[in-house]
Homo-oligomer: A and B are copies of this chain.
Amino acid sequence: MMQYEKDGNAIYAESFATIRREADLSRFDADTAQVVVRMIHACGQVDLAADVAHTPGLVTAAREALNAGAPILTDANMVASGVTRARLPKDNEVLCALRDPAVPALAKELGTTRSAAALELWRDKLEGSVVAIGNAPTALFHLLEMIAAGAPKPAAIIGIPVGFVGAVESKVALAESNLGLDWIVVHGRRGGSAITAAALNALATEQEIMR
């Protein structure tokens, strides 16, 4: 007979307490720390905290946007799938355009990946949105190019693409962009849809545990 904790709320509470005991969150204000705790929860690694960078206004900007009903725009269907709809303050739209039938031709035309091309389909929703890039470095690069060329600005950008080609560089490009953006990144190769969805879920509501 295996003995293990079976109470969902107790598991959440003990998990978050363990993270707060082990992770070095001293660099973060209380609101940001709550977001970082949830990101750590999604990957199981407390050292993630050291790689997080963000603008001072990120949490406030994202929360105000979501409370005002802003859409969440993401490059990855897994991120969209990972957003807990019950946490969203305004039943906000969660949009990934990757499977839109227009995307393959658009990618060919623009000479880029489908993940990057899919962002063009968001153009009219960018203003004041919360953008979450949780997979493709090319999508984050393309977003920065669109904004630098005059596209409307999102209220907040969660930049956590993952991998071995462009991930490091795309997150540095966001952090050094000087476009007047609010953003949070996980520097390095580490990232991905689970950490990104966790950041969104933390930004969506201050309530840590919801069952």
Binding site for B on A (CB under 8 A): 2, 4-8, 11, 14-15, 18-19, 41-45, 77-78, 80-82, 107, 111-114, 116, 137-138, 141, 144-145, 162-167, 169-170, 173, 188-194, 197
State the number of copies, please: 2
Residues of B within 8 A of A169 (CB): 4
- Best-surrounded residue of A41, A137, A163 (most CB of chain B within 10 A): A163
Residues of B within 8 A of A197 (CB): 78
Q: Bound state CA distance, A6 and B107, in angstroms?
A: 10
Q: Which of B2, B81, B113 contacts A11 (CB 8 A)?
A: B113
What secondary structure prevails in chain A residues at the interface with B?
helix
Q: Is A141 touching B4 in the complex (CB atoms < 8 A)?
A: yes
Pairs A–B under 8 Å by Cβ, sample size 21 = A2-B144, A2-B145, A4-B137, A4-B138, A4-B169, A4-B170, A6-B113, A14-B164, A14-B165, A15-B163, A15-B165, A18-B164, A43-B190, A44-B192, A45-B190, A77-B81, A78-B78, A78-B82, A81-B81, A81-B82, A194-B194
Residues of B within 8 A of A82 (CB): 77-78, 81, 193
Q: Is A6 touching B192 in the complex (CB atoms < 8 A)?
A: no
Q: Bound state CA distance, A11 and B163, in angstroms?
A: 10
